[in-house]
Structure formats: C-alpha cells, structure tokens
C-alpha cells in the first residue's frame, strides 16, 4: 500500500506530439484516468456536483516515448473537510518521469464547497 | 453560401503526433468544433437528448503540419425526419486536405430516434 | 484468433462529454491505441514514413458511459501492395457499440505510396 | 501590451466532460495552443530539441461551459539562461477562470539544458 493505487498504461500515437515524446498535457489526462479507476466504486450522493480540481502542479522529469509502459501511482496526502490533496507519480522502470500534486474540492449542487460526505470518505480509505 | 459555414483554425502541438503531422483523430474534433460554432444558437428542447453521431466517414487527402492555417467548411446535405447528414471539408489554401460525411440522429429523452423539432430545423437553415 | 487482437479499456472523464457519454471522437483515439498495442513490435525501415490513415468509417451503435469496460477487437481484412484495410469493433459485454473500417497506406520518405516491406507484412501476420 | 499576447477561443463538446464543464486537462491544451500562436515565427536552430515544459502550475477559479468565449493572456515573467517562465490566464468577460505558471527549459540535441539562442530570445521579445 506504500505506493498507493497502481494503474498501468502505455504511450500511443495519440499521446505523442511532433517532438516525438508524450505531449505534456496528456500526463494530466492519464493521471485522471488512474484516479477514475481508483475511485470507480465511489458514489456521489444525488444532487451534489462532486469533486472538482482546484489546483494542479506537475513537474516533468523524464520524457516518455511511443510504446513506453509506465504506471501511475496515486495516493491521498490529506483529506480536509471539503477538499483532499492527492499525489500522483508517473513511473517507468522505477524512474519517476513526472510527479503531480492535486487539490480537489467537493462541491454541492450550488457549485459551492461542501463537506465531503462520510460515505465518500469511507470509500476513499 | 455555396461553401456553407466557415470556421478558421490552425495546428498546435496538441494536434500533432510523432509523425510530425496532424493526428488523424484530431480532424474529428476540429470538425465538431466547427459544427458547434455553426449551431451555437440552436436550443435543444428540454428533456430531449439532442443530436448524436450515427456514422462518420473521413477521407484524408493531404497532411497538415504545425501552424498550418486551414478552414472547416460545413454544409447540410440532407435533413430527414429524425436525422441529418452533413459534409465537412478541411481546406488549406484551396487544397482539400480531408472530407467528411456525417450522419447525425436526433434522440428524445429515452435515447430513441425522434423527429427533429421544427424550431431546430428552422434554426439550422 | 477469430476475434483478432483484443485490447481492454475503460471510459474515464477525459473520454466523456457533456452529454454524459463517450465523445464520438474518442473512439478513433481508442482504436489507434489498440492498433498501436497490436503492432508494437513492427519496425518501420529507416527512412520510410510508415503507415498513414487514408480513409476511416465508423458506425456508432450504442453509447458508452463513465467506467464502462470494453474491448477493441482488431483484425486485418486485406493486405494490398501499398495499403491494408483493418476492421475494429468496440465491444462491451458482447454488445457491439461501434464498428470501424480503416484503410491504411504505406508511405516512403517522399510521402508517396510504397509497397509494404516484406518484414512488415511478416510481422503483421 | 500589459496583458501580453491575446488568443481567442471557445468551448466545444470535445472540451467538456460529463460534469458539463470544460475538462480540467483541456486548459493545458488551450494554453499551449495560445503559446504556439504567440511563438509561431520563432525558428528553433537545426539540431536543437527546442523548448520543453519542466513544471506547470494551474489554479482553477471558475468553470467554463459549452460555447463560452474566452481569451488566453500569455506573458513572459522571466527569461533565464536556459529556461523561461510564462504566465497564462484564461479570462471570460474580465473574470479570471484559471491562472497558470509554466517553466519551460531549452534543450540541445542531446536533450540536455542549453542556453536559449540569441535569435530565439530576440524573437520572443
């Protein structure tokens, strides 16, 4: 569990750009794909908007290329009243290629911050 | 009007792949961007699902490269009872780079085909 | 082998649009991801441009939603001198959600059609 | 010039997700589209790899919805020896919807940091 949730992926043409490496914006998508897989059994109570990204920081360490296999490691850093912070690493053969920190708020139906429901917190841990 | 609706765009890094040309899947997105601009004043009546793509055919004629400026020409070929067909051309300096034919159905709230509302047909023409 | 190459995938937020279903353009990307996985051991001889999509047809049968698991089935329909045609199906629980036919040309360094090298044909079959 | 380079864009279906707002990863793409437009006359000297993103921070302030028109404001914050930092704002009707800070390194053919060539610095300012 030290590494958190593990998600396997590999680089396709759609992920590359003319520099021959994975496009920097694609890391954000792949990280979301990993979080969605990680949280797929969580039910957002009816009426609530649910989670929304508030801030995202990514450091790019090493480029990825076509057909590179890698994993996304996802773990919760902090769960607050109406938000959580998550760390995600993109790792290829034990080499950290990118590291992200994401602050995610929980919103009610009025699009305003709301305490994360107990049922959701339980499902997250 | 012979050319239909005109939408200007240009190729960014996000649109390219490692072959150095616009990724074939991006043409589909750019064409949708043009159709959305074209139909932005159309209101889908409450409750209806609205339009959904049923079939799409695209022929790629000439590749596009970073910073290429091009236009998307959109015109209706046929409006049926519960569908329409649209033709879209990707044109750079009078050279047709791609040509698409798209069949679009209209769905009600039950996700089943439904006659396109009069107000929508009016707004389209 | 009747089903050809099988690639597993599932729908993330990035793949959806505001209609709540997988965006029609994403099917094209996912199909490429499957083909890239299928052909990852094929080496394009130095200097050649390699494969390029000439024509693509897709029929959308049933929408896909967040977290839906599906497979992409890829099989070659025909290998010509300088092109091949491939069929791909998007299948969820034995339900065909989309079916694609793709014509792919082989280009030399001058971006003109060229006979597919023997080594590539061997690797494909 | 106080606002830097201005790039106009609007939200299409491709940019939205099932929450009905612009997908958080799309802001990164749109920002790159603005930077590419801004720097389209800059020539990377033969052999150099060119610019690569090292770090990116984005704060999301207000969601964007289908057909929202907005601008991307791009300005250089600092030009160092082998890197630059850029600030980009996504602004709709004078409301800042997102703000990004991006650190971009310059790489030589060996993928290692290299002083930004004089000709490139001149073209940037």
Is residue D121 within a helix (H) or strand (E), and if so which, with residue range?
helix D118-124
Closest-CA distance of chain B to residue D115, Å: 23
Closest-CA distance of chain B to residue D45, Å: 16
What the block records as the tokens of C125 is 């079959």
Mean pLDDT of chain C, nearest integer: 95
Q: Check: CB of residue C51 under 8 Å from CB of residue C42.
A: no
Q: Is the pLDDT of residue D124 over 90?
A: no
Q: Find chain C residues with C-beta within 8 A of A32's C-beta.
A: 12-14
Q: Check: CB of residue C11 under 8 Å from CB of residue C22.
A: yes
CB atoms within 10 A of CB A123: 12
> What are the pLDDT digits (tens) for D57-76?
999 999 999 999 999 999 99
Q: Is the pLDDT of residue C68 over 80?
A: yes
Q: Is the pLDDT of residue C1 over 60?
A: no
A14 → closest Cβ in C12, C29, C66: C29
Mean pLDDT of chain A, nearest integer: 95
Which residues 29-48 of chain D have a CB within 8 Å of chain C?
Answer: none
Give the mean pLDDT of C6-33.
Answer: 98
Record: contact A32-C12, CB cut-off 8 A: yes
Q: Is the pLDDT of residue A78 over 60?
A: yes
What the block records as the tokens of B54 is 């049923």
Q: Find chain A residues with C-beta within 8 A of B29's C-beta.
A: none
Give the mean pLDDT of B51-61.
Answer: 98
d(CA D93, CA D89): 12
Decide: helix, strand or coil at residue D29: helix
CA B73-B20-A99 angle, 5° bins: 110
Q: What are the φ and ψ backbone dihedral angles of C9, each rounded to 5 degrees? A: -150, 170
Q: Check: CB of residue B41 under 8 Å from CB of residue B123.
A: yes
What the block records as the tokens of D18 is 């099932």
Q: Find chain B residues with C-beta within 8 A of A17's C-beta.
A: 13-14, 16-18
**CB-based contacts of B95: which residues, under 8 Å, 6+ apart?**
B61, B62
- pLDDT reported for residue A124: 81
Alpha helices in chain C (DSSP H): 26-38, 118-124
Give the mean pLDDT of D87-111.
Answer: 97
Lowest-pLDDT range, A10-19, B42-51, C84-93? B42-51
pTM for the whole thing? 0.96
B53 → closest Cβ in C53, C57, C60: C60
> What are the pLDDT digits (tens) for B62-103?
999 999 999 999 999 999 999 999 999 999 999 999 999 999
Per DSSP bridges, beta strands A5-10 and A69-79 are antiparallel
Q: Check: CB of residue D85 under 8 Å from CB of residue D26.
A: no
Record: contact C53-B19, CB cut-off 8 A: no
CB atoms within 10 A of CB D31: 25
What the block records as the tokens of D108 is 């030589």
Closest-CA distance of chain B to residue D31, Å: 10
Give the mean pLDDT of D33-41.
Answer: 95
Record: contact B67-D14, CB cut-off 8 A: no
Q: What are the φ and ψ backbone dihedral angles of D27, each rounded to 5 degrees? A: -60, -35
* Closest residue on chain D to A27 (Cα): D25
What spatial distance separates the first Cα and last Cα of chain A, rounded to whole Å? 11
d(CA D50, CA A19): 9
Q: Is the pLDDT of residue B48 over 50?
A: yes
Is residue D70 within a helix (H) or strand (E), and if so which, with residue range?
strand D69-79
CA B74-B76-B81 angle, 5° bins: 145
**Burial bucket for residue C16 (CB in 10 Å: 0-12, 13-18, 19+):** buried
Q: Is the pLDDT of residue B1 over 70?
A: no
Q: Is the pLDDT of residue D1 over 60?
A: no
> What are the pLDDT digits (tens) for B4-20?
999 999 999 999 999 99
Give the mean pLDDT of C66-93.
Answer: 96
Closest-CA distance of chain C to residue A107, Å: 17
Per DSSP bridges, beta strands C95-107 and D5-10 are unpaired
Q: Is the pLDDT of residue D117 over 60?
A: yes
What spatial distance separates the first Cα and last Cα of chain B, rounded to whole Å? 11
Q: Check: CB of residue A51 under 8 Å from CB of residue A106.
A: yes
Q: How confident is the model at residue C2 (pLDDT cuts 50, 70, 90)?
A: low
Cα separations in angstroms, A93 against A4, A97, B82, C107: 17, 10, 53, 34
d(CA C88, CA C6): 10
In chain C, the percentage of residues whose pLDDT exceeds 70 is 98
Q: Check: CB of residue B9 under 8 Å from CB of residue B72.
A: yes
Domain ranges of chain D: 5-124
Give the mean pLDDT of C69-76.
Answer: 97
Q: Find chain D residues with C-beta within 8 A of C63's C-beta.
A: none
Q: Classify domain B5-124 by CATH architecture.
A: Roll (3.10)
> DSSP state, D115?
P
């Amino acid at each position: 569990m030290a590494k958190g949730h593990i998600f396997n992926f590999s680089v396709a043409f759609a992920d590359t750009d003319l520099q021959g490496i994975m496009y920097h914006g694609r890391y954000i998508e792949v990280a979301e794909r990993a979080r969605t897989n990680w949280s797929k059994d969580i039910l957002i109570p009816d009426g609530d908007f649910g989670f929304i990204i508030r801030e995202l920081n990514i450091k790019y360490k090493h480029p990825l290329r076509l057909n590179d296999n890698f994993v996304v490691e996802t773990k919760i850093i902090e769960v607050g009243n109406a938000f959580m912070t998550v760390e995600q690493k993109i790792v290829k053969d034990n080499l950290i290629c990118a590291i992200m920190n994401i602050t995610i708020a929980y919103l009610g139906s009025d699009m305003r911050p709301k305490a994360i429901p107990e049922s959701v917190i339980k499902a997250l841990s």
